[in-house]
């Protein structure tokens, strides 16, 4: 593996720890992460690499209307890209390379989060503020490099009525089990993205198998973590109604659903520009048969199919509130 390091990231403690941990890997010093990250390399096979960089303008992006939890909500980023390789991942449409980038100046990123929370509270907004940490990468999958949990869970726990969601398809929860001095966490939600094993093995390359995710969920529930289930993207593969029904029935046998606070379902969804890029990168993917262009210029599952999924989830989880993407 190659480790690209921005020269201005050199003196951060996290950089030093990553380089010490991976001292046998080749290090290449660079002026700016975008010189590597934004290079157009098409579908060439490249040596695996990560990039260590400094986020020069850390800021929070407001989420679209009707996205998940009600109230003021923001995306923030501490890393880009992912160690996994889901065929549908929209990051492939957004980013030119698949190299993960880890921003190491956590104090600056936390400073911009604190500032945003303080500004909102000054306007007498006292309801929940939600922070989504995993829209640019799978935080848990990268944690062995990024030490995100160690740094961000105690930080977020120090606020009132703030919720941080990290979402994952990893089953490696070691770092969460170590950061457990603060348990029970009030502000930290670990979400697991789940799908039937048929979908995981076909479309979610390098992610944890379903059984391993279930084991991780149960371990975290036992340790007092807030664990939430995200079923996304729902994919109408052949016989999907039978496959998803069996999948949900099995899940209920293996997870104590009463302990799960919320369930969220979402379509496979792209804006039309990302969709075109995704199609260009992988023209033969079966995935493109599952979606169609809607009037709002989003490309997603046909409404009747999403409705079938919605009915199935309501039937299988009658006592749970089910959140949707209303986009």
Range in contact with ligand SF4 (rule: CB under 6 A) among 3-11, 25-33, 52-60, 81-89:
81-89
Q: Where are the alpha helices (DSSP H) in the chain?
A: 13-21, 34-37, 91-94, 106-122, 139-146, 148-157, 174-178, 197-203, 210-222, 240-254, 272-281, 303-316
For ligand SF4, the closer CB: 130 or 170: 170
Interface residue with ligand SF4, options 138, 147, 165, 189 (CB under 6 A): 138
Which token pair is 214?
Answer: 């279930």
Q: Is 251 in the site for ligand SF4 (CB under 6 A)?
A: no
For ligand SF4, the closer CB: 50 or 86: 86
For ligand SF4, the closer CB: 14 or 82: 82
Q: Is 89 in the site for ligand SF4 (CB under 6 A)?
A: yes
CA angle 154, 157, 159 (to 5 degrees): 130
Q: Are strands 61-62 and 72-75 parallel, antiparallel or unpaired?
A: antiparallel
- The C-alpha atoms of residue 15 and residue 180 are separated, in whole angstroms, by 24
DSSP 91-124: HHHH-S----EEE--HHHHHHHHHHHHHHHHHTT
Please, is 2 exposed, middle or buried when counting C-beta atoms within 10 Å of its C-beta (0-12, 13-18, 19+)? middle
Q: How far is the CB of 199 from ligand SF4 (least distance, A)?
A: 12
Q: Is 80 in the site for ligand SF4 (CB under 6 A)?
A: no
Q: How far is the CB of 85 from ligand SF4 (least distance, A)?
A: 6
For ligand SF4, the closer CB: 84 or 264: 84
Q: How far is the CB of 160 from ligand SF4 (least distance, A)?
A: 30
Q: What is the distance between the terminal CA atoms of the chain, rounded to a whole angstrom?
A: 39
For ligand SF4, the closer CB: 132 or 159: 132
Alpha carbon distances (Å) from 216 to 79, 81, 84, 318: 23, 23, 17, 24
Count how many residues are written for the chain.
327
Q: How many residues bind ligand SF4 (CB under 6 A)?
A: 10
Q: How far is the CB of 193 from ligand SF4 (least distance, A)?
A: 7
For ligand SF4, the closer CB: 169 or 300: 169
C-beta of residue 36 within 8 angstroms of C-beta of residue 52: no
Interface residue with ligand SF4, options 19, 91, 257, 287 (CB under 6 A): 91
- The C-alpha atoms of residue 323 and residue 176 are separated, in whole angstroms, by 25
For ligand SF4, the closer CB: 52 or 83: 83
Which token pair is 224?
Answer: 């007092």
| Footprint of ligand SF4 on 159-198 (CB under 6 A) | 169
Interface residue with ligand SF4, options 84, 106, 231, 306 (CB under 6 A): 84
Beta bridge partners of 219: none
* Sequence-separated (6 or more) residues with CB below 8 Å from residue 131: 60, 73, 74, 75, 76, 113, 156, 162, 163, 164, 165
Q: How far is the CB of 94 from ligand SF4 (least distance, A)?
A: 10
Q: How far is the CB of 101 from ligand SF4 (least distance, A)?
A: 13
Interface residue with ligand SF4, options 60, 80, 86, 117 (CB under 6 A): 86
Q: How far is the CB of 83 from ligand SF4 (least distance, A)?
A: 7
| Footprint of ligand SF4 on 98-137 (CB under 6 A) | 137
Range in contact with ligand SF4 (rule: CB under 6 A) among 27-35, 85-93, 256-264, 313-321:
85-93
C-beta of residue 217 within 8 angstroms of C-beta of residue 192: yes
Footprint of ligand SF4 on this chain (CB under 6 A)? 82, 84-86, 89, 91, 137-138, 169, 207
């Amino acid at each position: 593996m190659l480790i690209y390091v921005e020269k201005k990231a050199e003196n951060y403690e996290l950089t030093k720890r990553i380089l010490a941990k991976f001292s046998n890997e080749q290090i290449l010093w660079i002026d700016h992460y975008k010189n590597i990250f934004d290079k157009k390399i098409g579908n060439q096979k490249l040596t695996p690499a990560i990039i260590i960089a400094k986020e020069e303008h850390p800021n929070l992006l407001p989420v679209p209307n009707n996205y998940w939890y009600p109230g003021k909500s923001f995306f923030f980023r501490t890393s880009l890209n992912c160690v996994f390789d889901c065929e549908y991942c929209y990051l492939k449409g957004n980013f030119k390379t698949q190299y993960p980038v880890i921003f190491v100046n956590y104090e600056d990123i936390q400073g911009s989060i604190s500032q945003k929370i303080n500004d909102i509270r000054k306007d007498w907004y006292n309801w929940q503020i939600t922070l989504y940490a995993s829209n640019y990468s799978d935080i848990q999958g990268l944690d062995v490099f990024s030490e995100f949990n160690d740094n961000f869970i105690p930080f977020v726990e120090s606020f009132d009525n703030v919720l941080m969601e990290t979402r994952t398809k990893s089953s490696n929860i070691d770092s969460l089990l170590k950061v457990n001095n603060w348990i029970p966490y009030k502000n930290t939600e670990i979400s697991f993205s789940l799908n039937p094993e048929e979908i995981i093995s076909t479309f979610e390359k390098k992610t944890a198998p379903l059984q391993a995710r279930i084991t991780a969920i149960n371990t975290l529930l036992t340790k007092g973590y807030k664990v939430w289930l995200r079923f996304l993207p729902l994919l109408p593969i052949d016989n999907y109604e039978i496959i998803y029904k069996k999948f949900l029935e099995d899940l209920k046998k293996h997870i104590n659903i009463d302990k799960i606070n919320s369930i969220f379902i979402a379509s496979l969804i792209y804006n039309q520009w990302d969709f075109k890029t995704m199609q260009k990168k992988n023209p033969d993917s079966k995935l493109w048969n599952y979606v169609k262009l809607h009037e709002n210029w989003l490309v997603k599952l046909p409404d009747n199919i999403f409705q079938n999924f919605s009915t199935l989830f309501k039937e299988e989880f009658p006592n749970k509130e089910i959140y949707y993407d209303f986009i």
